[in-house]
A and B are shown apart, each in its own frame.
Chain A
């Protein structure tokens, strides 16, 4: 596959999803980048903002199989990964593995923070390993595979916040913001009339080959060593300093900084962004565009930040200001 083809497919996917989702162009682009970067996305936003619709539209445009799992406190791991069931075939009784909803190309883990940690970890293991193990037998997940998890930031009662180690497995954490007046008017126009938008398939049904080629192409995008250094410096800048060390203004709020996975996500995200813009090399701007979604869930802030109502995004904004390109 050539970069031009990648860009064409990418643009068509974007435009198809934009037919349904109004005012979230950047969100759509980043979800697509994460998909071709081989990562998973955590979408955070209040109910009713179109998270589920976004994922559905995306899977349809991609022509990939889609499953939705509504996470509840009584959801069991076997409900997600599948289980062995006793079957009676041709007079022979035997256990047969019945695949759970995780065996799909695009999985929507709706309100993932409502499930118990045991169930959450079953999903998160599948996300990382791209396989599940049931009764000692490993089952490879379909490729390509992407989990789009959502969580509600306001209803915290009866929820199990994702542990930091599991949050680290998400490529991007994207915030779904409420639409502005213009976007809302457009949403109303599209959803309350007689016309209903239809997402066209951009790729043929279950065309994993094309998607995998695109994923492969993304990794071939060139990145200059100074830009790699810049990513390293950004990731390093998020590290909390030693207690006796001199602390800069933003570091005083950081408890734990970004992991190496964070830097990996930044570079892959930047490569995806470069390809999407029709370039075969990463620029500083590409990096800066993806730093916040790639690192915001990887920085653990301390109580002081909480007390002063400082968010990870603010800290990262400061990091971007302080770390020079050269």
Chain B
């Protein structure tokens, strides 16, 4: 009875409707923006599932998506919140009154006679009995909400189906992230637990910028050797594959560290004319340093560029690392690599597998792709624009590289430099012929006749 009386109060009716309309506005805003936020979270989660995106970036992205979603809801909701007068007008319309509720909701009671207010309240109360908030003001989602859901679902589906097709080539996981993921996986195996822990420690170290790159690189090399040994000992194929992946991840780490170092050196040296000369020089220098395996026959600069471009790393056809020419499409074999990882990594992984377990297949693969060992290679082994004699119709830029400058400083012989692959620098013409003796007031050898006297002299 008391509740009924309260409900009959027109002021309560107005405030009840205003609250209801506020909830409607909130629902409208939520239904508009929550589906895109969920779609966004899903889109963020897909790369995580495929180890494309690390946990931290994923969490940051998810937090950002949630933040912007909440902000959008707030920005949409606040202006849509109906005022009390708007609610009163809706009641007036519903009860077909002549602005009774509007007047009651908006007038200042102190300004008007109490008897008038009482009468207005009474009249509005009578009309209020005709209105039932639940029945007369139900919530109906707006068309924008349906659109939002439909578009979000569509976007999520597109991402689900199109991303695996479009992205593999463009994917490049940070080596330490990949290493960490593999380390976790390895650590789960009881027999490889120790190795997994070491890999995790290395991954943690890689994240610390204070530790020098050399130290990181050394540790990576040590671990790599350890992995290779373990790989030889390992009998289970699954473990061997896992170790092979870890090894390739360590390769990536090494290259990253080396690339960073070279970039630094380049900035310091002031060189930077990008030409094939530089690539050749670096490639050769590396070859002369190590030359331990197939994977070392290319310049790190080239590697990084290729990785960025999403190509599979292609070495110089003349170099022995031709196995890398294997395309992703060739991977339909027994040890099928993960198509979601970059081509270069796949190749390395494949190589690791071949080295570790699949001994019988490795030699055949190499022979099918390498150029013939003797005589000039076939044209197909050269890059576009290159031939037997080097680049075809190419204009060379002669530059003095920072290494050459260093070599000059050390007094290294020209022949030695040339043997390293540096091109001969142009000879700058110089002369020690003495100048003629200085005679004061002497006419110069050729004195121009002023133009106005030329006719007279003739």
Contacts and interface: CB of A to CB of B under 8 A. Distances in A.
B98 interface: yes
Contact of B99 (A2, A220, A221, A281): A281
Contact of B119 (A3, A224, A284): A3
B376 interface: no
B112 A222 contact: yes
A220 B116 CA distance: 8
Contacts, number: 52
Interface of B: 85-86, 89, 98-100, 102-103, 105-107, 112-113, 115-117, 119-120, 123
Contact of A280 (B102, B105, B119): B119
Given A3-B116, A222-B112, A281-B103, 5 more contacts: A222-B116, A224-B99, A225-B106, A226-B85, A227-B103
A220 B112 contact: yes
Nearest to B113: A220
Contact of B102 (A220, A221, A224): A224
Interface in A264-309: 279-286
B98 A279 contact: yes
Contact of A225 (B107, B112, B120): B107
A221 B106 contact: no
A287 to B, nearest CB: 10
B85 to A, nearest CB: 6
B85 A281 contact: no
Nearest to A284: B99
Given A222-B107, A326-B89, A227 B116 contact: no
A280 B116 contact: yes
Given A220-B116, A222-B116, A227 B99 contact: yes
Interface of A: 2-3, 220-227, 279-286, 326
Contacts of B120: 222, 280-281
Contacts of A285: 98
A248 B116 CA distance: 41
Q: Which of A221, A226, A282, A285 has the most CB of B within 10 A?
A: A226
B106 A226 contact: yes
Nearest to A226: B85
Nearest to A287: B99
Contacts of B119: 3, 280
A155 B116 CA distance: 48
A326 B99 CA distance: 13
A226 B102 contact: yes
A3 B115 CA distance: 10
A227 B99 CA distance: 9
10 contacts: A220-B116, A221-B116, A222-B103, A222-B112, A225-B106, A279-B98, A280-B120, A282-B103, A283-B103, A326-B86
A2 B98 CA distance: 20
A226 B86 CA distance: 10
A285 B98 CA distance: 8
A283 B116 contact: no
A326 B100 CA distance: 16
Nearest to A286: B98
Contacts of A279: 98, 123
A251 to B, nearest CB: 28
Contacts of A281: 99-100, 103, 107, 116, 120
Contacts of B107: 222-225, 281
Closest 5 CB pairs of A and B: A283-B98, A283-B99, A281-B103, A224-B103, A280-B116
